[in-house]
Structure 1
Amino acid sequence: MPRGERPLGPEDTALLRFAGDLRRLRDQAGKPSYRELAGRANYSPTALSDAAGGRKLPSLALTLAFVRACDADPGPWAKRWREVAAEHAQPSHPDAPYPGDVPFTEQDAKQYYGREYLVEQIVESVRAEPLTLVFGASGSGRTSLLRAGLRPALDDAVVITPGHDPLGDLARALAGVFENTAEDRLAEELRRDPGHLGPRIRQHRPGLVLLVDDFEKALGADDFVTALTRCPRVVLAVRADQRQRCLDRGLTGAAITIEPMSADELRRAITEPAARIGATVETAVIARLVAEAANQHALPLVQQALVQTWRRKRGMTLSLAGFEESGGVEHVVVSAAETLFAALGEDDRGAARSLLLQLVSVRRNGLAQRRTRRPDVEPRLLDLLAGARLVTRGTDGVELSHDAVLRWPRLAGWVDEERENLMTHQQLVTAMELWEASDRDPLALYRGARLRRAKELGEFLTGEERRFVDLSTRRETRRSTALIAVMAVLIALVPGTVVYALANERKLTELHDRELGGKAISESEALMEQRRPYADKFALVGYKVNPSPEAERVLRLANAVTRGISFTGTPRDDADVLVAPRGEMAAVTDEDGTDRMWGVDEDVAVPGKRFADRHRVVKLAERRAVTRDDTGAEHLWAVNDADDVTYLSALPDRFRTLDLSADGSRIVGKVGEAAGGGLPTPDQSEHAELFDLSDPRGPRELPMPVRDPETVALSQDGRELATAVRDATAGTTTIEFWRIGGTFEPAGPALLQHGYVRGLTYSSDGRWLAVEHSAESVVEVWQRVPSGTPVLRARLDSALRAGARVTFSDDDRVAVVRDNVFEVQRLYTSDRNADRLVYVVGHGNSTRAVYRPQYGDFLVRSGGQDPELLPYQLDSGQIIKRMCEKDGARLTDSEWVKSFGEVERVDVC
């Protein structure tokens, strides 16, 4: 017979109340035995019994397993567990390597990592310039940079933090610098003559550097500013949104901006302080924090999450279990938000709700995301929110400090309540962008139902947005006045006409826009099919009068088709087209089977030199091309531009190129009878070879870490190699990453994939890796984490099972061409799903999309057999701006009348 549970006794502590509630939860589930619960929870009966024993706090994982086994919702219990854990967590060790929610001090200099390059940059500026201005967003770590970075790096420096009495604070900081000088006396001297400080420093401490923190607080103190500007060496740390005020004060000098930490800098800030005291941070913790915080000003949040993890460390290891128990960055944000909200009064709570909602936008797919705005709000409240790390104040305005703020339950609830208003506001923002792009054309102002909805937004509107609504209202009033005047004439003829007309004017306007827009879009699609001019102009009319996702899609496609780049004089049908990495050149097959180089400008291609007879390009990079002749041998060429093509050397016998780095510095391929595409074929003689092309006339073979990988890829700078080796027995493929040099060494942990991997593609900066699986042609996009396991961020599936051709842009977009489908997705370095930006049918499959950074578009093969490239611009605002600048947006009078009759013309620019 099982032994009964030990009574808990009085539940007079948080731990005992927690245990009692677990027991009551088990009672509500029918009081199953602990052995029965163990079968559901995958924990031993003893562990489950101890969890409800009240002697110690169970782990979070055990608690949630207990709750799930009782068929309860784990969400509230995770929150409850963290509240109890906060009372029972270990106190911070005196040698804890992270400062938490306070800035680094000079005593923390040995633990201050990740900003070494920035510190060197400022030190060099101090030596060269008398005044250096360091601009950083709130949360960028300006105080830590001055105290733990710059102060120890300079031979003689003092930190000044001005408050309500800047000159007094300056005197207090400098009193110990000058011998026999009292603070009060120095302050009085500075008030009488602020310019006296500079000569005094030059005489007594010529090497002294003044480091001024939070300088924006003293920008209005003329005597303080005068005193500083007369000193020999000064560094002013200023919040980024105050840059213009500094310029207005005439403060000119070397300007340095504190950029967000890169992934590598953040990794050092996480691992090095722990390593100094003999502690380690698990790779999974590093990967999670880097993925959540790299390239954004989130270091204070990371430091707080690390302190919470440190309190739950296992020995001297910061483990993933401890990190998850602490709740990570999200728990830090939510705790700070609730603490601040509880301390606010009712009026401030309402104002905070309004402000935070202004910093959220809701996309058409319903997802909430951060946005930057310049809100009209009391500075005191903004300071409170910034101090709690909920918002960041930067050059462009104010934004939520981290995506985790969006997951604060209270804010998420507000977003749900105001979702319709937020979507309406996002439409207003888009309309204002179009209005600005059309040089504030009055016809682009709001009217009708959209104007009425915009007027109802109230607190969501900034001053600029209110002005747009007011302008729209005045124009609508003039329009209505004119309509009433006409109706007044008609009223004598047809009683009731005015009332009827006014009641239906809104419906008629909407119907007019919808019908006119639909007709323009249909006309554009018909013209595209016939490859006739004006398709983009009709698409623009349709988009302007009735904006919609479909109208935007047609505008993008019509613009691409109108700008299509053809290869005149290349009569070969369905010719192969290979485009160089930056889209500046292309190799196209002539009718006789020989490839010719073409120079590709913005919208035109110019023919260049041909390769040797019957040579076809198999790989094209910057300044390099690999061709294959009709015997199957491969050759290396120099291609400086379309007219400068030079033969370099033959590649080894039976060599088949697998990849050529985008910069042309390295090439990898296979040697053997089985070398080639498709599924792997057994061949004992087949092996991979890697060459350095520094001397292209004599390629130098490098060590190859894997003898016979099925798939390989080179990073675009040629410094890293990815290899995929298949285990047919296990049905898996192992992807490994190697640094290329005189020897080879791993560049990161391996990645295990199920099934066969057909293709690998690096992004230009190496931050992303696309993995194509065969035969389903699913593309998985992984975020590369320095020295950590890659993190899966997107899975791009398709009904088509043709091979996928993958390209990355410079701004975290990934483009995929499958058969005749071209799609682009936006990637995120968080748990947020990728957003599909474009999905268009009607493209050829003989080339991948190529991103052109100089034009911000993608070159994509058009449908059909004609070797034509379409320059695909995704930003509709840029399309409109370009069309209007080149006077290519307005339909002729005859085209307008022919298509729309006597309907009033819509001016699109």
Structure 2
Amino acid sequence: MPRGERPLGPEDTALLRFAGDLRRLRDQAGKPSYRELARRANYSPTALSDAAGGRKLPSLALTLAFVRACEADPAPWTKRWRELAAEHAQPLHPNSPYPGIEPFTENDAKHYFGREFLVEQIVESVRVRPLTVVFGASGSGRTSLLPALDDAVVVTPGENPVEDLAAALAGLFATTTADVLAEEIRQDPDHLRLRLRQHRPGLVLLVDDAEKAFGADDFTAAVTRCPHVVLAVRADHRQRWHELGAGGDAAEITVEPMSADQLRRAITEPAAGIGATVETAVVARLVADAANQHSLPLVQQALAETWRRKRGMTLSLAGFEESGGAEHAVARAAETFFAGLGEQDRAAARQVFLRLVSVRRDGIARRRAPRPLDVDADLLDRLAKARLVTLTEDGAELTHDASLRWPRLAAWIDEEGENLRTHQQLVTAVELWEASDRDPLALYRGVRLRKAKELGEFLTVQERRFVDISARRETRRSTALIAVVAVLIALVPGTVVYALSNERKITELAGRELGGKAISASEALMEQRRPYADKYALVGYRVSPSPEAEKVLRLANAVTRGIPFTGTPKDDADVVVAPRGDMAAVTDADGTDRMWSLDEDEAVPGKRFADRHRVVELAERRAVTKDHTGQEHLWAVSDAGDITHLSALPDRFRTLDLSPDGSRIVGKVGGAGDAGLPTPDETEHAELYDLSDPRFPRRLPMPVRNPETVALSHDGRELATGTWDSDAGTTKIEFWHIGGTYEPASPALSQNVYVRSITYSGDGRWLAVEHSPESIVEVWQRVPSGTPVLRARLETTLRSGARVTFASEDRVAVVRDNVFEVQRLYASDRSPDRLVYVVGHGNSTRAVHRAQHDDFLVRSGGRDPELLPYELDAGAIIKRMCEKDGARLTDSEWVKSFGEVERVEVC
């Protein structure tokens, strides 16, 4: 007979109450034996019995397994476990390598990793310039950079900056006091400079949160005249600093978000320094969550909490999950912050959080890009200090996606979902209105205007002005509109709306005739760029399925969902789409490129590059532009609304390839040859750069001095070079592992033609080689350490250059002039299958595969810069149309097109 449970006794501690509730949960489940629970939970009976024993806190995983075995909801138990774990967690030992949410201090310098190059940049700037200004978003780690200097004094100005300055420095001068020094500075700001030169000429004055003293002229004058000064300024105060005019020839350094490699070092190196390790799964989770974001304090906080729960000297995934990671850190910080507010501030904070959230049409909430907020500056400062909001040069944004899962904010989003969707549409409308030079036709009217008026406190000053102007225009239009409507009503009966047929009353059509009629109608509407082409194509496909009908359905769906660039782009504009299809650079009418954010079926305008800059290459978080002189420049592109000039590339450098992840760039310096067969130029040579620190690209050794064509792999770690031998009439393609040195990555490939371009697939498994001048594309399968194997030869009657893109499921897309085609590849002798061949679409734009939507973005053809989202799966197209209620023709549309023929239900 099994032994009974040990009685718990009085449940006078939180741990005993927790154990008692676990036992009662088991009772409510019918009191299954621990052996039965073990079968359900996949834990041993002893472990489950100990979990309810009350002697120690069980792990979160064990607790949740117990709860699920009792068929209870794990969510409240997760919350309760974390509250109890916070009480039982080990205190943060002084030897912890992670400071948590607080900035690094002088004592933490040995644990500060990932920013070494930036620290060196500041040290070098201090050596050659009297004044260095470090700009960084809140939470970017700019304050933590300051302790890197040896002989330095840190000053943090408060309400009385001069007194704070004097208090920090008085100890350096034996013959004065803080009060006396403060009075001297007020009377003559230059006095401090003279004292430092006399007593401590090498001292560096570090001013943290310098923006707090921008209103104190005597403080600013005294500080900026000192021999060696570093000011740390929050990025949203950059314009104020420039308006002060106190910088002279100050060096300006911007702290960018940590890259994945930098963040990985910041996570692992501090632990390694004291003999501890961080499990790879923890590193991967944190890097995925926080790379390229200003989230370093949250990462440090999550690591500090994981350190409390370490197993020996290992920061394990179990400990990380028990701590709740960044999500729990954000939720706890948000609840603590919110609990400390009064009722009025709570309402204001709620409004701030909601203004920084957008809800897409599919109902998914996401963070907005940084945007200015006309709210109390003190409240924003407190939110930034709590690491809940990040303040950048472009405005405010939620610090991390985990904020969206904070239960209180999630509830607010549910309550205001409709308003948030309406507001998102309004934001887009305002941006389009501004981008079109405030075209009156872009203003709101009717139902959209009424809904916008109801947003109330959601509206910013700019949005409220847009609504007011729309309302005034609506009032002026009302009388004229009534007259126009009357005229239209009179004209409609005699108008052939869709030009589908002159026969209004057809009593009977065979299925094939009806399908053919619907397909013809769809093609006519596509040609005229008129609505409902996809609806008619769906009727034709449902009535008479065929490969031709499926082709029309796919094309009609793409045309109907076409993504226009409204307002500013000129005809025949250049269009460059980012590798993931989430952004595009499009040329405005004045010849300057503008960034656009691409959603599923819409484009939202963002920032423009510098005057007359055109985008040459666009990668993840990086862009290369060429100015009107031919000089190329490197830019940071966080999103369409956040672009920053980083550096000019070397003189006469022209980009040949930028790795899709933005980590490496390769180009040529010297004479530029025309496309086609090469023209020898002795001065021309190739150069390869590492962009880990994009403001200072680091030149890498180039394995081939002057190849005719080059290509970088997706991660920038491999380089393919094609070298033309004119005597032999062959091109030698070589593959190189690149870094501080280079070495062959696989055997070379010889081609008996001149190779115009080389393209890697994202996973490195495939390689496309385009021949010149025939524009034949050969696709080779990469074999580890072996010679590539030819798998496909894609020929064409067109001789224009091919632009090749690889997608998932071994698909390759090729655009030649105005022809767009997709082929499925096979790692065997089987010939590729042609999935798509469309004439009239393509035109100077590479087809970009969007994995999140599983479609291709292709230019619509002609001079219009519009992009078509081309989906290959007819079933997915029909599902989307039916779910969005966009598949069914109205009764009047059906009758106009098909007369009295019985309706066909398409969904």
Q: Residue 210 of structure 2 is aligned with which of 196, 215, 219?
A: 215
CA separation of 1:181/1:737 partners in 2, compared to 1, >3 Å: closer, same or farther?
farther
Q: How far apart are the structure 2 equivalents of 1:583 and 1:137?
A: 26
The reply to whether residue 666 of structure 1 matches residue 704 of structure 2 is no
Q: What TM-score, normalized to structure 2?
A: 0.62
Q: Residue 277 of structure 1 corresponds to which residue in structure 2?
A: 274
Aligned residue in 2 for 1:370? 367
1:869 CA displacement: 12
The correspondence for 2:674, drawn from 641, 657, 660, is 641
Paired with 2:470 and 2:864, the residues of 1 have a C-alpha distance of 37
Aligned counterparts, 1:83-94, within 5 A: 83-94=83-94
Q: Which amino acid aligns with 2:86?
A: A
1:199 aligned to 2:194? yes
What residue number does 1:126 align with? 126
* Length, aligned pairs only: 643
Deviation by residue 1:84-116 (Cα, 9 ceiling, x = unmatched): 111111122221111112111101111111111
Q: Distance in 2 between matches of 1:520 and 1:122?
A: 69
User: What is the rounded CA distance, in whole Å, between the counterparts of 2:163 and 2:783 in structure 1?
Assistant: 61
Q: Contact conserved, 1:860 with 1:871, CA < 8 A, in 2?
A: no
Contact 1:162–1:218, Cα closer than 8 Å, also in 2: yes
RMSD: 5.2
In the aligned structure 1, how far is the partner of 2:722 from the partner of 2:261?
27
Paired residue type of 1:220: G
Decide which of 140, 163, 168 is 2:163's aligned counterpart.
Answer: 168
Q: Is the 8 A contact 1:359 1:370 kept in 2?
A: yes
* 2:562 corresponding residue in structure 1: 553
Task: Select which of 347, 352, 356 maps to 1:355.
Answer: 352
How is 1:568-717 mapped onto 2 (pairs within 5 angstroms)? 640-645=673-678, 661=712, 665-666=719-720, 691=735, 702=744, 704=746
Superposed CA deviations along residues 49-71 of structure 1, whole A, max 9, x for unmatched, are 11111111111111111111111
Secondary structure at 1:176 match in 2: helix
Question: Cα offset for 1:75?
Answer: 1.4
Give the alignment of 1:804-843 within 5 angstroms.
819=834
State the match for 2:61 in structure 1. 61
Alignment partner of 2:304 out of 304, 307, 325: 307
Pair 1:118–1:583, CA change in 2 (3 A) = closer
Q: How does 1:373-772 map to 2 (within 5 A)?
A: 373-480=371-478, 553=562, 555=564, 640-645=673-678, 661=712, 665-666=719-720, 691=735, 702=744, 704=746, 772=808
Q: Are the aligned partners of 2:525 and 2:531 in contact in 1 as well (CA < 8 Å)? A: no
One-letter identity of the residue aligned with 1:312: R
CA distance in structure 2 between the aligned counterparts of 1:871 and 1:53, rounded to whole angstroms: 68
Partner of residue 20, structure 2: 20
Q: 1:803 to 1:458 in 2, by over 3 A?
A: farther
Q: Cα–Cα, structure 1 residues 555 and 388, in superposed 2: closer, same or farther, change >3 Å? A: closer
The answer to whether the 8 A contact 1:521-1:554 is kept is: no
AA of the residue aligned to 1:56: K
Cα drift, residue 509 of structure 1? 11
Distance 1:272 1:159, change over 3 A: same
AA matched with 2:135: F
Residues 239/536 of structure 1: CA separation in 2 closer, same or farther (3 Å cut) = farther
SS in 1 for 2:233: strand
1:447/1:59 Cα in 2 relative to 1: closer, same or farther (>3 Å)?
same
Mark the CA change 1:801 to 1:22 in structure 2 (over 3 Å): closer, same or farther: farther
Match for residue 292 of structure 1?
289
Q: Compute the displacement of 1:188 (Å).
A: 1.6
| 1:41–1:68 CA contact under 8 A, matched in 2 | yes
Q: Is the 8 A contact 1:334 1:408 kept in 2?
A: yes
| Aligned partners of 1:298 and 1:401 also within 8 Å | yes
| Counterparts of residues 782-821 of structure 1 (less than 5 Å) | 802-803=824-825, 819=834
Q: How does 1:68-87 map to 2 (within 5 A)?
A: 68-87=68-87
Question: 1:233 Cα deviation (Å)?
Answer: 2.2
- After superposition, the C-alpha distances for 1:19-63 in whole angstroms (9 at most, x for unaligned) are 111111111111111111111100111111111111111111111
Give the superposition deviation at 1:124: 1.9
Q: Aligned equivalents of 2:374 and 2:226: distance in 1?
A: 37
Aligned match of 1:249: 244
Structure 1 residue 849 displacement after superposition: 2.5
Aligned-partner residue type, residue 234 of structure 2: R
Q: Does the aligned pair in 1 maintain the 2:806–2:812 contact within 8 Å?
A: no
Identity %: 64
CA contact (8 A) 2:734 2:747 kept: no
Change beyond 3 A, Cα 1:771–1:321:
farther
Q: Which residue of 2 aligns with 1:578?
A: none
CA distance in 1 between counterparts of 2:491 and 2:416 reads 30
Partner of 1:228: 223
Q: Is the 8 A contact 1:211 1:234 kept in 2?
A: yes
**Residue number in structure 2 paired with 1:141:** 141
The secondary structure found in structure 1 opposite 2:134 is: strand
After TM superposition, give the deviation of residue 361 of structure 1 in Å.
0.4
Q: 1:735 to 1:62 in 2, by over 3 A?
A: farther
1:407 counterpart letter in structure 2: R
Find the partner of 2:184 among 186, 189, 202.
Answer: 189
Q: 1:436 to 1:770 in 2, by over 3 A?
A: same
Give the aligned partner of residue 741 of structure 1.
none
Taking the aligned partners of 2:128 and 2:154, their CA distance within structure 1 comes to 20
Aligned 8 A contact 1:667 1:693 in 2: no
8 Å contact 1:172–1:183 — kept in the other structure? yes
TM-score scaled by length of structure 1: 0.62
Match status 1:327 vs 2:324: yes
Q: Alignment partner of 1:308: what SS?
A: helix
Residue in structure 1 matched with residue 173 of structure 2 by the alignment: 178
Query: Which residue does the alignment assign to 1:337?
Result: 334
In structure 2, distance between residues paired with 1:423 and 1:37: 46
- Unaligned segments of structure 2, at least 5 residues: 502-518, 534-556, 575-613, 618-627, 629-653, 658-670, 682-708, 724-731, 750-756, 767-780, 786-790, 793-804, 814-821, 850-855, 870-907
1:156-207: per-residue Cα shift (whole Å, max 9, x none)?
3211110111001111111122232221211121122222212222233222
Give the unaligned 5+ runs of structure 1.
Answer: 487-500, 540-547, 566-581, 586-601, 603-620, 625-637, 649-657, 670-687, 695-699, 708-714, 725-733, 739-757, 760-768, 780-799, 806-816, 823-839, 852-857, 876-909
Asked if structure 2 preserves the Cα contact closer than 8 Å seen for 1:104 and 1:144, the reply is: yes
Q: Secondary structure at the match of 1:475?
A: helix
Q: Partners in 2 of 1:430 and 1:276 — Cα distance?
A: 49
| Contact 1:583–1:859 (8 Å) recurs in 2 | no
What secondary structure sits across from 1:100 in the alignment? coil
Distance 1:719 1:280, change over 3 A: farther
**Could you tell which deviates more after superposition, 102-111 or 526-535?**
526-535
Residue by residue over 1:695-715, the C-alpha shift from the partner in whole angstroms, topping out at 9 and shown as x without a partner, is xxxxx99364999xxxxxxx9
Distance 1:451 1:478 in 2: 14
Question: In the aligned structure 1, how far is the partner of 2:338 from the partner of 2:846?
Answer: 51
| Distance in 2 separating the partners of 1:873 and 1:106 | 53
Paired letter, 2:720: R
Kept after mapping to 1: 8 A contact 2:720/2:733 = no
**Closer, same or farther in 2 for the Cα pair 1:538/1:185, shift >3 Å?**
farther
For the 8 Å contact 1:583–1:850, the answer to whether it is kept is: no
**Whole-angstrom CA distance in 1 between matches of 2:255 and 2:488:** 51
